[in-house]
């Protein structure tokens, strides 16, 4: 431990600051800071795309999925495979990870092109969190990575009881509403436009030939979910006013 502290003291001021910030997030002192610096580097920032966090994100995503699967398998010994798969999907989905990343303050550490306003509304912080998991794994191994995910992420920021009882698939909810009430409904891509370095999709919920609600996202699936959520807000609002 003394050797580690001495190495930290010898580092440059920005590196020392990053190490202190990471200690707060991780619950331990990182050893190879270069892994973490790479994990926090979005592809929009460096001139060379190979210096981005995408490879670490790939690794972290796989490790996260395996650890969450093991955790749920042991936590719910009598639940069927379908339940476990659905709950794992809700935990590791981009929206959940992005929300956790922002709540833990990781968004303040990610390096990205801040002139591209669309990036801050995408899932780059959740992607960086997965890259951070990859960095932890390479730096400290599987056991510490597992402890980090379960203690610093799942137990600190994810309410499994609420997640278990809440249907967050807005598309399915909306389709059920349409079928129950005899409406014809489609998800139509209304517009595709370039926002910074990425393509932004605008999807509309068309009910009985009229656009009820719209949603945007950096892929059609995400935009569709946002549009469906907006449509459900309108439907529930109409119910309350009746």
φ, ψ for residue 189, nearest 5 deg: -80, 110
**What stretch(es) of the chain map to CATH 3.30.160.20?**
170-241
Which one of 57, 61, 139, 222 is the catalytic residue? 61
φ, ψ for residue 191, nearest 5 deg: -160, 145
Is 50 exceeded by the pLDDT of residue 160? yes
Is 80 exceeded by the pLDDT of residue 46? no
**What stretch(es) of the chain map to CATH 1.10.1520.10?**
11-165
Active site residue 161: no
For 170-241, give the CATH class. Answer: alpha beta
Specify the pLDDT at position 45.
Answer: 65
Active site residue 240: no
The rounded distance, in Å, linking the Cα atoms of 211 and 146 is: 46
Interval 169-225: pLDDT, tens: 788 888 888 898 999 999 999 988 876 556 778 899 999 989 999 888 777 877 888
**Residue of higher predicted confidence among 11 and 43:** 43
Which one of 48, 70, 130, 240 is the catalytic residue? 130
Question: Which residues are within 8 A (CB) of 54 and not within 5 positions of it... i.e. 6 or more apart?
Answer: 43, 131
**Overall residue count recorded for the chain in this entry:** 242
Interval 71-111: pLDDT, tens: 999 999 998 998 888 889 889 888 889 899 999 999 888 88
User: Are the C-beta atoms of 220 and 201 separated by less than 8 Å?
Assistant: yes
Residue range 11-165, CATH number: 1.10.1520.10
């Amino acid at each position: 431990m003394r050797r580690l502290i001495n190495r930290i003291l010898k580092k440059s001021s920005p590196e020392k600051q990053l190490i202190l910030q990471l200690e707060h997030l991780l619950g331990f002192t990182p050893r190879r800071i270069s892994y973490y610096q790479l994990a926090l580097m979005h592809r929009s920032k460096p001139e060379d795309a190979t210096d981005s966090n995408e490879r670490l994100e790939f690794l972290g995503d796989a490790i996260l999925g395996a650890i969450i699967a093991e955790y749920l398998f042991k936590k719910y010994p009598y639940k069927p495979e379908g339940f476990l798969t659905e709950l794992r999907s809700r935990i590791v989905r981009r929206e959940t990870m992005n929300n956790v990343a922002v709540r833990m303050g990781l968004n303040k550490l990610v390096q990205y092109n801040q002139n591209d306003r669309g990036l801050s509304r995408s899932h780059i912080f959740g992607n960086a969190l997965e890259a951070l998991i990859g960095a932890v794994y390479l730096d400290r191994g599987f056991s510490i990575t597992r402890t980090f995910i379960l203690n610093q992420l799942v137990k600190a920021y994810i309410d499994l009881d609420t997640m278990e009882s809440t249907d967050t698939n807005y598309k399915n909810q909306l389709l059920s509403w349409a079928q129950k009430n005899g409406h014809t409904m489609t998800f139509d891509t209304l517009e595709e436009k370039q926002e910074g370095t990425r393509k932004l999709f605008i999807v509309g919920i068309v009910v009985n030939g009229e656009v009820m609600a719209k949603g945007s996202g950096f892929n059609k699936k995400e935009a569709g979910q946002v549009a469906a959520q907006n449509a459900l807000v309108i439907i529930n609002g109409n119910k309350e006013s009746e």
